[in-house]
Amino acid sequence: MNSSEWDLRYRETERLWSAEPNVFVAEIIAPLPPGTALDLGCGEGRNARWLASRGWTVTGVDFSAVALERARKDADAAGVNVRWIQADVTTWKPPARAFDLVVSCYLHLPPAEMRAALANAAEALRAGGMLLVVGHARVNLTDGVGGPQDPEVLYEPAEVVDWLPGGLRVLRAEHAYREVEKEGVVRRAIDTLVVATSDFDSESSDRLQ
């Protein structure tokens, strides 16, 4: 889907996604001291807004103008400050070595475009910074519920690891599970979860302890 199609999809509903942060984002990042964070494909800004509320200096990037306008309004209502950028995450070049954390949450693109986005994400990380990737697993099509139904844009943990550029240390690459209620029935959704860090240095490695 291009940006115009996403704009239309956002306009069709008051809120497309949950207002709460992704459960895995909250679980993994909550123990970390705040720093600078980049949310790639931020959508309506739920994770960016949560990070800002916890003291992070946050930049959110998305190519949907409608989603970003909604994100701005929600951030203003919550009294938090986020820098919002309208851009295509596959071609937008973030400042190099500028972020302690880069989040890619349910960004679903064909493999070549995901590889490009993750290369940009890695380039944006400071030494010792963390990259967190969460997305719908391909196995979710047969064994889970929800998410995109096009297998080309879904990914397994090993694929994400393969797409990562050199200079990253993979800490976790696994399936993660969420309970989802659909039509009154609680079912299990299956996500891909990958956590990696840039090369450690003596000053920044303590952030991840």
What global pTM score does this model have? 0.89
Measured CA to CA, the distance from residue 34 to residue 30 in angstroms comes to 9
Q: Mean per-residue pLDDT for 6-10?
A: 61
Single-letter amino acid code for the residue at 146: G
Is the distance from CB of 52 to CB of 83 less than 8 angstroms?
no
Provide the token pair at 178.
Answer: 């969420």
As for how many domains the chain has, the answer is 1
Residue 100 sits in a domain whose CATH number is 3.40.50.150
- 171 part of a folded domain: yes
The torsion angles phi and psi of 104, rounded to 5 degrees, stand at: -125, 105
- 79 part of a folded domain: yes
pLDDT tens for 48-83 read 999 999 999 999 999 888 999 999 999 999 999 999
Q: Residue 117: which region, alpha, beta or left (left: phi > 0; alpha: psi -120 to 50)?
A: alpha
Q: How does the average pLDDT of the chain come out, rounded?
A: 90
The torsion angles phi and psi of 6, rounded to 5 degrees, stand at: -70, -40
Query: Whole domain around residue 97: which residue ranges?
Result: 3-7+34-208
- Residue identified by tokens 């519920």 is 145
- 27 part of a folded domain: no
Is the distance from CB of 120 to CB of 85 less than 8 angstroms?
no
- 140 part of a folded domain: yes
